[in-house]
Copies of this chain bind each other. A is one copy, B any other.
């Protein structure tokens, strides 16, 4: 049985050659998978992969198409928050039966879907992550998951409901119309290309706004830009400091990040594991 996966870009565009590489891998190794890259993925309009309306239409067309099994986000970047409200409002019954997979900026959509009980949001590699060293394996992980093959999820998941977010994305989500109730959830966060002082500031904001969660686990904080002076603490020190200050349990590391190893984290309670 064929699994039909539509790829759209709610934020920035995907490079054609990366889509081609993903298509070639899927054709070679996943004959049971059909990938449909929406042409919107390759549109460039200023910062975005098309105007808000174009990104919205591409995503809704895929989500509401009864012949599509899953929506896979092609790239992050920035832009999902500009369309998330209209995405939720425009989703029909068909959209509820699907899996939605991605992370980074598209975590805004995963959050909005989770809040509204629509479909199955899953944190995991984007199609564009084929660019990384070892990116092929990230793509295989997604295609195995979406086509129902056995595949490892993030190793630390337990029977508590769990979500995973880019730290900046989560910081911008709290208090908004798209923020799910994360009471008693384990919250995994990762960050890329932010100064450690900015990570510290984001942890202040997020821990103050996440009262009632079961705890926080810290993924990789990568590509930290060099500052004019050292921050004086590691990312883990920062996580522990703010969790302690906000009476939130710090639950250790997490295998997520802006890299090829970024693990799969289905939102909610994960009753099945391989």
Contact = CB atoms under 8 A, between A and B. Distances in A.
Interface of A: 44-48, 77-79, 81-82, 168, 171-177, 196-198, 200-202, 204-205, 208-209, 227, 229-233
Contact of A78 (B44, B79, B201): B201
A227 B12 CA distance: 13
Contacts of A168: 201
A229 B172 contact: no
Contacts of A177: 208
Contacts of A231: 46-47
A81 B204 CA distance: 7
Nearest to A196: B47
Given A47-B232, A175-B208, 17 more contacts: A45-B232, A46-B233, A47-B196, A47-B229, A47-B231, A48-B232, A77-B197, A78-B198, A79-B197, A82-B200, A168-B201, A171-B171, A171-B205, A172-B204, A172-B205, A175-B209, A176-B208
